[in-house]
């Protein structure tokens, strides 16, 4: 959200070259707020503002910008300037930015950086998107196990200005194998000459570099952690993931889940609804809508097959929308609950029979209720339709009600089974998007509807 | 998630009365894991396990349990035991538990507690659900502004064992008015005799007790905070909200948003899919499904009104499912994107014209694409249907395609407008549930479909 009051004020300070007030302002306001403000300026103006700050704060504000805007600013900078700015960024943000830079730009900038930073960027950027490795930072404090509490505090004091968090410090041996961790609180409460191995927690909740980022974020949430260490295949500490990154991961995954549920493809990294071009919006949405429309043709063919029946009982057409909607609604409800429970790790695919038993009970109640409504509807409003003489309105109502109840039960069970099936296949359960499900239960619904009616009326 | 290996092991330790191993186990494993494990036991067994731990750890494990199970355990405890357990819980969890207790149980337990705790519970429990006040804790460290860095560190050392977080300490005057805050990192980096006012940050990001809990959680996320202070109407500090609670709030709000999107009512506080009785599931889902089914009757009446048209062109019935699905899909997509962008505070209701301009462009592209598909479909598969001689298949295809394109544009715009309207009315935008939207665009779709065809074919 933009702060409409401060943006013009900032521009004025810039235009009148009011160095003193500009510096004062940049120090007193939170970097995230400044990032919001300068996002409203041109890249060149934004860079001019950033130049009034010290390099570390500058990189901090910069790393709060949208990636798009970061790239635009880097584009207008000279080699040394850009390399310096990137070097000062938090390691995880730095690696993310690097991944987005065009190849030739990367090769141009890397030689201007110190070797340690070059290697750190290369290492972090190498992990596959969506893994713990791709979101971790290399900015953490380590301690050797032969220190005392006092020495450890002194060491943290030394490294504090450079580290993202010093509230947890990780104890490693000479091969960087993770032995345990101590919190700053532990150190403050310990006696001065108590040794680290006596204080540290050895049962460390950790992740592996290849773990799924959402699993790791859920761990941080479950155990109320400020940071979580990430180890490689040899048990060596390679990075940490902090609570604020975990929160961003959870928000991002939630957005992607919701969008998948609604059959929108593409990933959603930053807040960009209005800034995304219409063409991209179109592409993200068209894929699924078209696939589903093609499946919708199957529904059409089914209806065409039963044209004769429809011409005989025109009232059947009047119930098609309710049949389709109700199937889609009840199926989406059970699918949503199952998908969400899977995402929150409340259930696992192995619970399938308990889930089906529960959904069956709910479906029978819903089917009974909705069937009764349909029955009443036929009796009350059906009088106007022409139906062949040998059939009574009550009979037709009972048959339509039964078909609807069957549809509700089928749709609810399909809605529950598909996400579990997807989870078992190691797909994301949210691919069982509500629109996809709606289309599937439309097809099953029409088949159930017409065949039930045909069978029971003996036509 | 249950750990299937450890639960029987735990029960065995309990049965053989293996005190030593039980104690060892309870200290070495994270409280959240122990809470998961004992959830599989009976309340009486769980309480027996908890009795092997020290009171503070016992209350910590206990507050990681589901609220349902917490209530069951409190039910079997004596007055003193229950009062002691509750007194040791973190203040925010304690107040939450109290709110769920039956009135007479509350009145029975309160007198067994110390006055300070009684008042703290009453105060925290008084805030309305969903506000910052209802989720804050009173467990934070304060500092007086006349201390030095060294004295402040000493003070934090003293209070550390009792406080949820000492990583931020809040500086308040004699009336508890919030003057600023210092982080433990600031204190460690400061010179021993530097005074608090020289170190503290005065531009404190804070919330008010009546603020919406999701707004507060998003603030913690945006500014990467470990905790956020909450002040009352007089500017006095009354509590803090910690990063882990913010994460839980965001998860909970996301679940509720997703469920609302799918027309499931009720709130979702804890992980309870399987434990929620089928009857409650039924109730949460039936409300909307029935309302929507009743609206579906309107679609039915529209179809009935055009029965004559359908009897003349049976092929029109074959396109009804695709029309309904496509309208529902495209409308849900735009609604989802707008709802999510509103939730993430990317857009505000005032952006409505920019949003509509974007959605119109996307809708025109989608309409063109889907109309073309429908046209092709009529030409390829339409041959089998009987249509009156004076109309050609191509003409019918063009008219159906145009009606579908109009439906896509209308549905997309309705999908974008409704959540913005809801937001402006201060309702939750997610009430524009996908099923509700589907039902609405079904009605508009059928009207568009039949009237377009009637007008253009001149019948």
Scanning A177-242, the segments in alpha helix (DSSP H) are 184-189, 196-199, 213-222
Report yes or no: A6 at the B interface, CB cutoff 8 Å.
no
Selecting from A32, A330, A439 the residue whose C-beta is nearest the C-beta of B289 gives A330
Tell me how far apart the 2 most distant CA atoms of chain B are, in Å. Answer: 99
**pLDDT by residue (tens digit) across A103-147?**
888 888 988 999 989 999 999 989 998 899 999 999 899 999 999
Contact A92, A163 (CB under 8 A): no
Chain B 325-354, CB below 8 Å of chain A: which residues? 325-326, 328-330, 332-333, 335-338, 340-341, 344-348, 351, 354
> What's the whole-number mean pLDDT along residues A204-225?
93
Give the count of domains, chain B.
3
The residue of chain A nearest to residue B246, with distances taken between CA atoms, is: A247
Pick the more confident residue, A430 or A352.
Answer: A352
CB contacts of B257 in chain A (<8 Å) are 258
**What pLDDT does B269 receive?**
46
In this predicted model, what pLDDT tens digit does every residue of A369-392 receive, in sequence order? Answer: 999 998 988 888 777 666 777 788
Predicted pLDDT of residue A346? 78
Q: Quote the pLDDT of residue B145.
A: 95
Measured between beta carbons, which residues in chain B are less than 8 angstroms from residue A435? Answer: 325, 328-329, 332
Between CA A445 and CA A437, with CA B320 as vertex, the angle to 5 degrees is: 40
User: Which among B185, B311, B355 has CB closest to A160?
Assistant: B185
Average pLDDT over residues B306-316: 83
> Which B-chain residues 79-118 have CB contacts (< 8 A) with chain A?
none
pLDDT beyond 90 at B239: yes
* CATH code where residue B437 lies: 1.10.357.20
pLDDT in tens, A410-437: 999 999 999 898 888 877 776 666 677 8
Reduce the secondary structure of A326-360 to three states and give it as a string. Answer: HHHHHHHHHHHHHHHHHHCCCCCHHHHHHHHHHHH
Is residue B259 domain-resident?
no
- Within a domain: B132: no
- Look at residue A218 and tell me if it is in a domain: yes
**Quick one: B40 and B157 in the same domain?**
no
Enumerate the residues of chain B whose CB falls inside 8 A of the CB of residue A309. Answer: none
Q: Do B154 and B121 fall within a single domain? A: no
Cβ within 8 Å, pair B290-A439: no
Residues 46-75 of A with CB under 8 A from B: none
Mean pLDDT score, A57-68? 91
Q: Please give the distance of CA B194 from its chain centroid, rounded to a whole number.
A: 44
For residues A107 and A121, the answer to whether their CB atoms sit within 8 Å is: no
Q: Do A285 and B362 touch (CB under 8 A)?
A: yes
pLDDT value at residue B2: 38
Q: How far is B273 from chain A (nearest CA, A)?
A: 6
Sign of CA dihedral A330, A334, A335, A337: positive
Question: Phi and psi for A156 in degrees, rounded to 5?
Answer: -65, -35
Specify whether B163 is located in the same domain as B105. Answer: no
Choose the closest CB to A286 out of B271, B274, B366: B366
Summarised one tens digit per residue, pLDDT across range A161-192 is 878 788 999 999 999 999 999 999 999 999 99
Would an 8 Å CB–CB cutoff place A32 in contact with chain B? yes
Structure tokens at B153: 């560190």
Q: What is the DSSP string of B252-310?
A: HHHHHHHHHHTT--S---SS-TTTS-HHHHHHHHHHHHHHHHHHHHHHHHHHHHTHHHH
pLDDT at res. A74: 93
pLDDT for the residue B151:
95
Does residue A167 share a domain with residue A311?
no
* Helix runs in B163-242, H state only: 184-189, 196-199, 213-222
Nearest to B321 among A278, A296, A373 (CB): A296
Q: State the pLDDT at residue A1.
A: 35
Whether residue A366 is predicted with pLDDT greater than 70 in this model: the reply is yes
pLDDT tens digits, residue range B138-161? Answer: 989 999 999 999 999 999 999 988
Cβ-based burial of B367 (10 A; exposed 0-12, middle 13-18, buried ≥19) = buried
The predicted-structure confidence for A244-288, as pLDDT tens digits, reads as follows 999 999 988 887 777 776 666 655 444 467 777 788 888 878 887
Q: What pLDDT is attached to residue A264?
A: 64
* Crossing angle (nearest 10°) for helices A55-62 and A19-28: 60
Interval B419-447: pLDDT, tens = 898 888 877 776 666 677 888 888 999 99
pLDDT of residue B97: 92
> B111 to chain A, minimum CA–CA distance in Å?
32
Task: Give the pLDDT score at A6.
Answer: 67
B140-143/B165-172 β-pairing: parallel
Residue A36 and residue A82 in one domain: yes
pLDDT over 90 at B58, yes or no: yes
B-chain residues within 8 Å CB-CB of A169?
Answer: none
Instruction: Residue A341: list chain B partners with CB under 8 A.
Output: 271, 273-274
Q: Are residues A117 and A225 in the same domain?
A: no
Least confident of A176-180, A317-321, A380-384, B356-360: A380-384
Last residue of a domain, one of B100, B126, B152: B126
The per-residue pLDDT for range B156-209, each reduced to its tens digit, is 999 988 787 889 999 999 999 999 999 999 999 999 999 999 999 988 999 999
**ipTM reported for the complex, 2 dp:** 0.75
**Closest-CA residue in chain B for A188?**
B157
A189/B160 touch (CB, cutoff 8 Å), yes or no:
yes
Cβ of A381 within 8 Å of Cβ of B203? The answer is no
Judge residue A152's burial from the number of C-beta atoms within 10 Å of its C-beta, 0-12 exposed, 13-18 middle, 19 or more buried. Answer: buried
* Domain shared by A239 and A286, yes or no: no
Task: Please report which confidence band the pLDDT of residue B50 belongs to, taking 50, 70 and 90 as the band edges.
Answer: very high
Give the CATH number, domain containing residue B178: 3.10.580.10
Quickly state the pLDDT bin for B4 (edges 50, 70, 90): very low
Q: What kind and span of H or E run contains B418?
A: helix B393-424
**How do residues B12-39 score in pLDDT, each as one tens digit?**
888 888 888 888 888 888 899 899 888 8
Handedness of CA A310, A313, A316, A318 (dihedral sign): positive
List chain A residues with CB under 8 Å of B157. 188-189
- Under 8 Å between Cβ of B264 and A286: no
Domain, as residue range, for A409: 278-457
Whether residue B351 is found in the same domain as residue B312: yes
Note whether residue A270 is domain-resident. no
Using CB atoms, pick whichever of B248, B255, B346 lies closest to residue A273. Answer: B346
pLDDT number for residue A263:
61
Is A291 contained in some domain? yes
- Tell me whether residues A300 and B377 touch, CB distance under 8 A: yes
Least confidently predicted of A201-205, B68-72, B80-84, B436-440: B436-440
Q: Residue A304 and residue B318: Cβ atoms within 8 Å?
A: yes
Q: Does A263 sit within 8 Å of B333, measured CB to CB?
A: yes
What is the residue-averaged pLDDT of chain B? 86
Query: What is the crossing angle of helices B278-305 and B434-457, to 10°?
Result: 10
Residue B387 phi, psi (nearest 5): -130, 150
Q: Are residues A122 and A156 in the same domain?
A: no
For residue A9, CA distances in Å to A37, A73, B105, B238, B444 come to 10, 22, 58, 33, 48
- Interchain pair A344, B258: CB under 8 A: no
Mean pLDDT of chain A: 86
How close A444 comes to chain B (CA, Å)?
A: 12
Q: Is B393 near chain A, with CB under 8 Å?
A: no
| Whether B153 contacts chain A with CB within 8 A | yes
Considering the domain architecture, whether residues A245 and A329 belong to the same structural domain is answered as no
Question: Do residues A53 and A116 share a domain?
Answer: yes
Within a domain: A119: yes
User: Same domain for B326 and B429?
Assistant: yes
CATH of the domain at A27: 1.25.60.10
Nearest CA in chain B to A250: B251
Specify the pLDDT at position B196: 95
> Residues B257-267: pLDDT tens digits?
777 766 666 55
Say yes or no for a CB contact (<8 Å) between A203 and B247: no
CB A171 within 8 A of CB A180: yes
Mean pLDDT of the region A64-77: 91
Digit-coded pLDDT (tens) for B331-346: 888 888 888 788 777 7
Mean local confidence (pLDDT), B95-119: 89
Per the structure block, which two tokens stand in for B288?
């909307």
Cβ-based contacts under 8 A for chains A and B: 360
User: Which one of A101, A126, A151 terminates a domain?
Assistant: A126
DSSP states along B75-98: HHS-HHHHHHHHHHS-HHHHHHHH
Instruction: Flag whether the pTM goes above 0.80.
Output: no
Domain end position, chosen among A104, A126, A148: A126
Burial class (CB in 10 A: 0-12, 13-18, 19+), A434: buried
Q: Give every CB contact of residue B427 below 8 A, 6+ residues apart in sequence.
A: none
């Amino acid at each position: 959200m933009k702060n409409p009051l401060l943006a013009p004020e900032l521009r004025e300070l810039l235009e009148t070259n009011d160095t003193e007030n500009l510096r004062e302002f940049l120090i007193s306001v939170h970097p995230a707020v400044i990032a919001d403000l300068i996002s409203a300026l041109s890249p060149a103006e934004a860079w001019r503002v950033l130049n009034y700050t010290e390099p570390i704060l500058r990189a901090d504000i910069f790393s709060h910008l949208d990636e798009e805007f970061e790239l635009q600013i880097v584009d207008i900078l000279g080699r040394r300037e850009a390399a310096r700015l990137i070097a000062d960024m938090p390691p995880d943000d730095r690696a993310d930015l690097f991944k987005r830079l065009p190849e030739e730009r990367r090769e141009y900038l890397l030689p201007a950086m110190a070797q340690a930073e070059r290697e750190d960027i290369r290492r972090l950027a190498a992990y596959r998107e969506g893994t713990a490795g791709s979101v971790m930072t290399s900015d953490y404090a380590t301690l050797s196990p032969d220190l005392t509490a006092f020495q450890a505090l002194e060491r943290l004091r030394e490294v504090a200005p450079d580290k993202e968090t010093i509230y947890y410090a990780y104890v490693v041996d000479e091969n960087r194998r993770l032995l345990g961790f101590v919190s700053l609180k532990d150190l403050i409460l310990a006696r001065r000459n108590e040794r680290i191995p006596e204080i540290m927690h050895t049962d460390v909740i950790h992740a592996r570099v290849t773990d799924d980022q959402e699993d790791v974020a859920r761990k941080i949430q479950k155990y109320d952690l400020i940071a979580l260490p990430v180890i490689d295949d040899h048990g060596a500490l390679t990075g940490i993931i902090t609570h604020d990154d975990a929160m961003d991961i959870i928000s991002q995954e939630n957005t992607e889940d919701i969008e998948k549920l609604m059959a929108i493809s593409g990933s959603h990294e930053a807040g960009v609804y209005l800034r995304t071009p219409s063409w991209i919006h179109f592409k993200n949405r068209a894929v699924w809508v078209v696939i589903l429309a093609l499946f919708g043709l199957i529904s059409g063919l089914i209806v065409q097959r039963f044209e004769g029946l429809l011409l005989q009982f025109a009232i059947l057409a009047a119930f098609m929308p309710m049949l389709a909607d109700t199937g889609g609604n009840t199926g989406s409800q059970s699918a949503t609950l199952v998908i969400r429970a899977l995402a929150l790790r409340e259930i696992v695919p192995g619970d399938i029979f308990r889930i089906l038993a529960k959904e069956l009970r709910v479906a029978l109640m819903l089917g009974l209720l909705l069937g009764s409504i349909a029955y009443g509807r036929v009796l009350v409003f059906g009088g106007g339709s022409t139906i062949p003489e040998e059939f009574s309105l009550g009979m037709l109502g009972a048959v339509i009600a039964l078909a609807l109840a069957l549809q509700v039960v089928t749709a609810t069970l399909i809605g529950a089974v598909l996400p579990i099936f997807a989870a078992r296949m190691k797909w994301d359960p949210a691919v069982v998007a509500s629109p996809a499900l709606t289309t599937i239960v439309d097809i099953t619904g029409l088949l159930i509807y017409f065949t039930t009616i045909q069978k029971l009326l003996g036509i």
